[in-house]
Structure 1
Amino acid sequence: MRLLLIRHAETKANVAGTISSWSPGENLTTTGRVQAKDLATRLTRTPLDGIYTSHLIRTQQTGAPLALDQGLPLTVLDGTHEIEGGDLEGASGALAMRAYVAPLLMWGEGDFSASIPGGHDGTHFFTRFDAAIATIVDRHTDSDTVALISHDGCMRVWVAGRANNVGPDYTSTHALKNTDIVTMSGDFDHGWHVESWGSETLP
């Protein structure tokens, strides 16, 4: 199966550098809505067999033009929402961001014991996100191409922990812009391989 992990389009929190995981979350900005339309255009020649989003509204607004263009419904999938901010929810600035990211880096390296202050540990995250991806795999065939519109933190941590050709050293130093796509192939039995990360093709 080919899995397209897509970061949602721009929100005000992205622009401000604010940690934002609350539900249902922010709407897209005007720029974000343009990005969502551009995403649909970029994928016009990539027929999809399913489009999934998290329960946060920014992912659904990002996916709406794509779903319309592909003639597919949007399926909201539990477990694919952003990594909860805990006590850091709504905070901004370098110190807050470092406190949020530090445990995520440990999770990607395989140490699930670290927790975000007032939040969850790595076991909680990987359990819910693995289950969500497993649901997608179960619903589709090996030849299907499926899009999941999710969140920067989720994508980078999950890829770091599950891909066989990319690790935390890569995911922590290669930013994903809004609507960037990480293309993966495989499954849990045979492993996940990153084919491309944003505009970069990987071996």
Structure 2
Amino acid sequence: MKVLACVIAVVLLVAGCSSGPPAPESITLTFVRHAQSQGNASGLIDSSVPGPDLSEEGRSQAQAAADELRDKDFDGIYASDMVRTQQTAAPLAADLNEQVEVLPGLREIEAGWFEGTSEATAAETYFLAPVQWLDGNLAVAIPGSITGKEFNDRFTAAVAEIYDSGDKNPVAFAHAGSIMLWTLLNVQNPNDSLLRTRPLPNTGRVVVEGNPMTGWRLVNWDGITDFGA
């Protein structure tokens, strides 16, 4: 009986050891595009740092966003190093008595040669290279700017910082291009047509769930929640 008990104990010990480390914990990460900037109001692309302030309409949009987001139980607030995201985050941060942590990696994708050109023509100019990124061609660069790999590495590092903070339900204020492209490049259930059919408006939101180790899933794209299995 003693021998049998020892054998059982060893089997249980081995089974316990072979179970491996616990699975990484998932978080819910909400991205919010900034409110209308003076650059948006002008109709011209402005991807410079720190960039323009919010317009008067943008300030109203930022307060409206804070009113909508106040009850979401966010435990961390982040923004890029561009003024418009920090100004958009400010009303919510004041409501929640939280500090806004600035992460440069959340900044907008630099427009390069297309800086100062019309936002209306961005699909035919500024976004020609990013569309190729979605096809796997991350080595392609926006003329005068960065490659898809450089952008993705930068934004992914910022997301990793958010995850490593320990926040379980953080919100990150960023930019239309950076939010949309990073999401579609990194979630396990992308729908690339959303870039064309549902571009993020000012204060539009994207929500992902997961972690940097096992990956991310898209759960909400500006109100769209059905992304298939």
TM-score by length of 2: 0.83
Distance of 1:61 and 1:128 partners within structure 2? 22
Matched residue SS, 1:64: helix
Q: Which ranges of 4 or more aligned residues in structure 1 deviate by more than 6 Å?
A: none
Matched residue SS, 1:18: coil
Conservation of the 8 A alpha-carbon contact between 1:105 and 1:172: no
Which is greater in Rg? 2
| Match in the other structure for 1:100 | 126
Distance of 1:112 and 1:3 partners within structure 2? 24
- Code of the residue aligned with 1:31 in structure 2: it is E
**Are 1:194 and 2:218 an aligned pair?**
yes
Distance of 2:194 and 2:119 partners within structure 1? 23
Matched residue SS, 1:9: coil
| Match in the other structure for 2:12 | none
**Among residues 162, 170, 176, which one is paired with 1:152 in the alignment?**
176
Conservation of the 8 A alpha-carbon contact between 2:45 and 2:119: no
**Among residues 109, 112, 124, which one is paired with 2:135 in the alignment?**
109
Conservation of the 8 A alpha-carbon contact between 2:33 and 2:200: yes
Matched residue SS, 1:115: coil
**Among residues 109, 119, 140, which one is paired with 2:145 in the alignment?**
119
Describe how 1:71-90 pairs up with structure 2 within 5 A: 71-90=97-116
How many corresponding residue pairs?
201
- Code of the residue aligned with 2:89 in structure 1: it is G
Shift of 1:95: 4.5
Matched residue SS, 1:33: helix
Matched residue SS, 2:77: strand
Conservation of the 8 A alpha-carbon contact between 2:41 and 2:55: no
TM-score by length of 1: 0.94
Shift of 1:17: 2.8
Q: Which moved more, 1:85-94 or 1:100-109?
A: 85-94
Q: Which stretches in structure 2 are left out of the alignment for 5+ residues?
A: 1-26
Matched residue SS, 1:195: strand
Q: Which stretches in structure 1 are left out of the alignment for 5+ residues?
A: none
Shift of 1:85: 1.1
- Code of the residue aligned with 2:155 in structure 1: it is F
**Among residues 57, 60, 64, which one is paired with 1:31 in the alignment?**
57
**Among residues 13, 18, 28, which one is paired with 1:2 in the alignment?**
28
Between the aligned residues of both structures, percent identity stands at 36
Tell me: CA distance 1:95–1:28, structure 2 relative to 1, closer, same or farther (3 Å): closer
CA deviations over 1:157-179 (Å, ceiling 9, x no partner): 10110011123223332111100
Distance of 2:196 and 2:210 partners within structure 1? 22
Q: Which moved more, 1:169-178 or 1:67-76?
A: 169-178
Matched residue SS, 2:197: coil
